[in-house]
Amino acid sequence: MKFGVVVFPGSNCDHDMLDALQNDLNKEVRALWHKDKSLDGFTTEDCIVLPGGFSFGDYLRCGAIARFSPMMQSVIEFAAKGGKVLGVCNGFQILCESHLLPGVLTMNAHRQFVCKNNYLKTPGGEPLLIPVAHGDGRFQADEKTLDELEANNQVLFYYCDEQGNVVESANPNGAVRNIAGIRNKEGNVFGMMPHPERAVSATLGNEDGKKVFELLGLL
Amino acid sequence: MTYHVQINVMPLKDLLDPQGKAVMGGLVNLGIKSVNDIRIGKHITLEIEAESAEAAKQIAETTATKLLANPVMEFFEIEVVG
């Protein structure tokens, strides 16, 4: 599986993602400029990553303008054909704005930028400690959408405490139902606010991020 | 003909508006206690080339639906002002 990391003006986690994939996860990876359109060399066995940051300065709404970049038109087609797409933080916001994932990410309820390690409850697994860093990470969707997401097992990660309890005190941004990450119904598009690429190196003392990539079937 | 169109984009009524909450706190600190609620949105002005006011409004609707507002969290109102 090869990886492509889309670089938008204002992306600032693109190099973290490229470095993590190439040097810590030993994957073939290349950067894709948002103004280009070509995904030549990528097949639906590969994965396109939308990294974190502040694409287009977060103007209008987070991710709203990036959604219209030429490369995003190719990514939307790639996803429709079954190719894997992962959006982290601003990437998650872009996926929601692109309608590749339901819902939206709104300003943190407490209005502060949050930057810390947070435990995530994973499907059937132990809680993973993954860094979060965002000002607009409060996942929102209407009740019907939320019920569908949960009924279809589309919620990938919930904010939880160290023991894996999904409690309000473990919610860093006020996201509804403590939702930290979701996937689409087809299971090939993933979005999450926490940054697994920041936790894949033993040197940095936390490799829980590797388990996130594993869980998503990206390793 | 050129038409001036105004679009107000507001957060949906049942969604928490953290900006409004913050400004509300400021008003309380200012000593103004008669304001019950504040909600903050965006006011966008467009200059549109169109054949009629109705056509200009249609174009504005398209911009609002496709880009300027996100119906999951916002609603919008359009006014052709001249």
A34 is catalytic: no
Number of domain units in chain A? 1
pLDDT in tens, B31-82: 999 999 999 999 999 999 999 999 999 999 999 999 999 999 999 999 999 8
**pLDDT of the residue at A188:** 98
**What radius of gyration, in Å, describes the C-alpha atoms of chain B?**
16
**Which position among A62, A89, A96, A160 bears the catalytic label?**
A89
Q: Give the chain B residue whose CA is nearest to the CA of A102.
A: B72
Residue A111 has its nearest CB partner, among B18, B67, B72, at B18
The answer to whether the CB of A37 falls within 8 A of the CB of A84 is: no
Q: What is the CATH number of the domain that holds A133?
A: 3.40.50.880
CA nearest neighbour of A35 among A59, A9, A61: A9
Average pLDDT over residues B5-28: 95
CA distance B25 to chain A (A): 13
Contacts of A159 (CB under 8 A, 6+ apart): A118, A119, A120, A121, A166, A170, A171, A172, A175, A178, A179, A180
Contact A17, A49 (CB under 8 A): yes
What's the total number of domains in chain B? 1
pLDDT of residue A148: 98
The residue assigned the tokens 């038109």 is A73
Percent of chain A with pLDDT over 70: 100
| Active-site annotation holds for A89 | yes
For residue B44, which residues of chain A lie inside 8 Å, CB to CB? none
SS3 A179: strand
Q: For each successive 10 residues of chain A (219 residues), what is the average pLDDT?
A: 98 98 98 98 97 97 97 98 98 98 97 97 91 98 98 98 97 98 98 98 96 96
CATH of the domain at B27: 3.30.1280.10
Give the gap in angstroms from C-alpha B19 to the nearest C-alpha of chain A: 8
- Per residue in B17-26, pLDDT (tens digit) is 999 999 999 9
Residue A19 belongs to what domain range?
A: 2-215
Strands of chain A, DSSP E: 3-7, 29-33, 47-50, 84-88, 104-106, 114-121, 128-134, 138-140, 155-160, 179-183, 189-192
| pLDDT of amino acid A169 | 98
Instruction: Give the residue numbers spanning the domain of B13.
Output: 2-80
Tokens for B1, please give them.
């003909």
Active-site annotation holds for A47: no
Distance from the Cα of residue B63 to its chain's centroid: 13
Residue A42: the pLDDT is: 98
- Optimal mutation site among A56, A58, A59, A61, interface B, most CBs of chain B within 10 A: A61
Contact A64 B72 (CB under 8 A): no
Most distant pair of Cα atoms in chain B: their distance: 50
Look at residue A24 in the predicted model and tell me its pLDDT: 97
Q: Which of residues 159-218 of A touch B (CB under 8 A)?
A: 174
Interface confidence: ipTM more than 0.90: no
Interface list for B 9-68 with A (CB within 8 A) = 15-16, 18-19, 21-22, 67-68
Q: Is A114 on the interface with B (CB under 8 A)?
A: no
Measured between CB atoms, does B70 come within 8 Å of chain A?
yes
pTM (2 d.p.): 0.95
Give CA separation, A28 vs A17, A22, A102, A209, A219, in Å.
Answer: 12, 6, 30, 18, 11
